[in-house]
């Protein structure tokens, strides 16, 4: 599994439509699902929750939960659906998640997490990984992080994705937790030195190829989050400069390839806005970007969007001087 660059699991963002769209831009970036709760998988509509387009691969399933039994069952189902990796969420700081005893609050219970990971690994041949933070509340010393990773490593887990901020549980909103706690990249770099045989992936506040490159000199991989969602053509820069792949589509190519997918999804009952909302940032930094966002917002990102307008979207791009060239994401 190539985890040199990946896109983080993001609630209300990295659904199957977003992942299909991003895969049109980048062949090599590893993609993650939104966090899906183990109990929802075990008791809910598995097909609705887990089905994805084969063209999204490689794609990892992120699970939320704290029951070894339920997580193991969800892991088996994830493998059956064809995912390439199972990731356990140990980093989400929201009050709702904490109330249900999963996410970052589990950093307080390393032995329970170890039990969960052991059980998950026992039922699958897929790699089981974790995504966590460097600490929580007032527990932010490196020694605590080192001990936490040591306990999890003993279960056989080899890949650790570290958001280089601590989680403020019950004190900040999820948005505040993405911005207010200071980034401590040096903690993640030290983890790689202390665990040289493990795969250490760094996450948090990384927004460009120029920022990715120095992180790759000190860790095994970089996970990007909001930058990939709001400026998705960043993945084209990553494809060229990190993966050394020059076969990168233009923005126009991306939309042209997306249209057949949209039409197929509309036949299945998907609403147009459920797909097109993910493309708002495609032309970020380009001439005509504001027109693109305005046109989508008014015509395609509304609940009762007129599906016929999809047939004319390329004309809107051409006749309104929207810059579709292959180039920097800006």
Would you please indicate which residues are annotated as catalytic (active-site) residues? 92
User: Tokens 């001087």 map to which residue?
Assistant: 321
| DSSP 8-state secondary structure symbol assigned to residue 182 | P
Q: Cα–Cα distance between 76 and 74 in angstroms, integer?
A: 5
The torsion angles phi and psi of 80, rounded to 5 degrees, stand at: -60, -30
Return all residues near 221 (Cβ < 8 A) that are at least 6 apart: 3, 4, 5, 6, 161, 199, 200, 201, 202
Return all residues near 52 (Cβ < 8 A) that are at least 6 apart: 16, 19, 33, 59, 81, 82
Give the angle 41-44-48 at the CA atoms, nearest 5°: 85
Q: Which of 130, 115, 123 is nearest to 76 (CA)?
A: 123
DSSP track, 93-143: --HHHHHTT-SGGGGG-HHHHHHHHHHHHHT-SS-EEEEEEEEETTB--HH
Give the angle 269-27-78 at the CA atoms, nearest 5°: 55
Q: Cα–Cα distance between 79 and 192 in angstroms, integer?
A: 29
Strands (E), the chain: 5-7, 30-37, 59-64, 85-90, 128-136, 159-167, 199-203, 221-224
């Amino acid at each position: 599994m190539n985890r040199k660059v990946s896109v983080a699991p993001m609630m209300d963002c990295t659904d199957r439509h977003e992942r299909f769209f991003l895969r049109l831009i980048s062949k090599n970036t590893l993609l993650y699902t939104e966090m899906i709760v183990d109990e929802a998988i075990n008791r809910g509509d598995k097909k609705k929750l887990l089905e994805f387009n084969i063209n999204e691969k490689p794609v990892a399933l992120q699970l939320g939960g704290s029951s070894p039994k339920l997580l193991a069952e969800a892991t088996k189902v994830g493998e059956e659906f064809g995912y390439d990796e199972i990731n356990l969420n140990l980093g989400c700081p929201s009050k709702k998640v904490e109330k249900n005893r999963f996410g970052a609050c589990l950093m307080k219970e390393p032995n329970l997490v170890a039990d969960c990971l052991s059980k998950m690994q026992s039922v699958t041949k897929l790699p089981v990984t974790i995504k966590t933070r460097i600490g929580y509340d007032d527990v932010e010393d490196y020694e605590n992080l080192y001990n936490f990773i040591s306990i999890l490593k003993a279960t056989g887990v080899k890949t650790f994705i570290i958001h280089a901020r601590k989680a403020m549980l019950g004190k900040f909103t999820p948005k505040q937790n993405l911005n207010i706690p200071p980034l401590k990249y040096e903690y993640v770099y030290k983890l790689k030195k202390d665990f040289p045989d493990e795969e250490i992936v760094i996450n948090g506040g990384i927004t460009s190829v120029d920022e990715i490159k120095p992180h790759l000199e000190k860790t095994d991989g970089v996970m990007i989050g909001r930058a990939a969602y709001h400026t998705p053509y960043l993945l084209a820069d990553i494809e060229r400069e990190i993966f050394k792949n020059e076969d990168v589509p233009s923005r126009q190519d991306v939309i042209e390839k997306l249209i057949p997918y949209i039409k197929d999804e509309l036949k299945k009952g998907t609403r147009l806005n459920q797909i097109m909302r993910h493309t708002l940032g495609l032309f970020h930094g380009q001439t005509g970007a504001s027109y693109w966002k305005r046109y989508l917002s008014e015509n395609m990102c509304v609940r009762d969007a007129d599906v016929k307008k999809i047939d004319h979207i390329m004309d809107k791009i051409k006749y309104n001087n929207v810059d579709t060239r292959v180039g920097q994401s800006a």
